[in-house]
Amino acid sequence: MSVTLAIPSKGRMKEDAVASLARAGITVSAAADNRSYRTSVAGAEGLDVLLLSASEIARELRDGAIDFGITGEDLIRESAAEPGDIVEIVARLGFGRADVVVAVPDPWVDVETMEDLNDVAAEFRQRHGRRLRIATKYWRLTQGFFARRHGIQSYRIVESLGATEGAPAAGSADIVVDITSTGDTLRANHLRVLDDGIILRSEACLMRSLAGPADAGLAEAVAARFRAS
Ligand SMILES: Nc1ncnc2c1ncn2[C@@H]1O[C@H](COP(=O)(O)OP(=O)(O)OP(=O)(O)O)[C@@H](O)[C@H]1O
Ligand SMILES: O=P(O)(O)OC[C@H]1O[C@H](OP(=O)(O)OP(=O)(O)O)[C@H](O)[C@@H]1O
């Protein structure tokens, strides 16, 4: 019996994920063919480490297709309505830090808070003949924050698959909800985060699917190493 753990196959989180496994005594090396998404693992008998994209890891955890995954908290919260019912955060890993934020165009000088934005959204249709448009790939986090947390009902989500911060200047949306770390991309696109506009402070986490692994004893031993490292 084995337990599966997926780490990002590329990008900003891959090297840090490998380092966090090493701190837990698990050495992962790429398979000989370096286009392969399989790895060889030393230090944990029965553990298979897979390489997947960060967003795929969130979906596979949700679906119970893998036992453990290292990915961003934002991605798991976006992929499931009640993430606490499907995954446990075993450890926060201290890298991949970024905030999911609400940002408005710099010229909206009177809009500093979500309450101000609520006023704008309420009047938007009357003034502009349409609802306020929000560009984002985080539609679930956006709905939770706007409708449930702040009672903002009048808006429309424009799904963005990339270059979200460019949407207001391009005219396809009025404001954005996106991830930021240094803030450079928002500034370059003349956007400003609202004072209370941080939806989530995200970082990479080791998460465990609650679906139940094939080998519960081994899964618990893996989790214990991360809690201790
Ligand atoms: N500056 C940043 N910009 C975007 N994501 C960041 C940043 N810093 C950390 N992250 C985190 O990295 C993760 C996304 O990583 P990445 O873009 O490699 O994943 P992906 O969406 O699976 O990739 P792909 O675009 O190939 O599907 C998210 O959890 C996000 O919070
Ligand atoms: O606050 P900053 O440090 O500027 O980082 C934020 C930006 O970085 C990411 O884009 P990236 O160019 O990495 O591409 P991606 O959207 O494909 O992740 C993210 O989507 C933001 O646009």
Does residue 201 line the site of ligand 1, with CB under 6 A?
no
In this structure, what token pair is assigned to residue 72?
Answer: 């961003």
Task: Write the residue with the smallest CA distance to atom 21 of ligand 1.
Answer: 55
Distance 151 CA to ligand 2 centre (A): 29
Its ipTM equals 0.93
Distance 103 CA to ligand 2 centre (A): 14
In this structure, what token pair is assigned to residue 173?
Answer: 């949306």
SS3 annotation, the chain: CCEEEEEECCHHHHHHHHHHHHHCCCEEEECCCCCCCEEEEECCCCEEEEEECHHHHHHHHHCCCCCEEEEEHHHHHHHCCCHHHHEEEEEECCCCCEEEEEEEECCCCCCCCHHHHHHHHHHHHHHHCCCEEEEECCHHHHHHHHHHHCCCCCEEEEECCCCHHHHHHHCCCCEEEEEECCCHHHHHCCEEEEEEEEEEEECEEEEEECCCCCCHHHHHHHHHHHHHC
Task: Write the residue with the smallest CA distance to atom 28 of ligand 1.
Answer: 72
Task: Write the residue with the smallest CA distance to atom 16 of ligand 2.
Answer: 162
pLDDT for the residue 34: 64
pLDDT 10s digits, 186-219: 999 999 999 999 999 999 999 999 997 778 899 9
Task: Write the residue with the smallest CA distance to atom 7 of ligand 1.
Answer: 98
Query: Please, which pLDDT band fits residue 35 given cuts at 50, 70 and 90?
Result: low
Domain 3-96+203-228 classification at class level = alpha beta
Atom index in ligand 1 nearest the CA of residue 12 equals 18
Distance 124 CA to ligand 1 centre (A): 32
- pLDDT at 1 exceeding the cut of 80: no
Domain boundaries defined on the chain:
3-96+203-228, 98-201
Two domains, one topology: 3-96+203-228 and 98-201: yes
Dihedral sign for Cα 137, 65, 54, 146, please.
positive
pLDDT 10s digits, 102-123: 999 999 999 999 999 999 999 9
Atom index in ligand 2 nearest the CA of residue 164 equals 22
CATH topology of domain 98-201: D-Maltodextrin-Binding Protein; domain 2 (3.40.190)
Rounded Cα–Cα distance for residues 192 and 188 (Å) = 10
pLDDT 10s digits, 169-183: 999 999 999 999 999
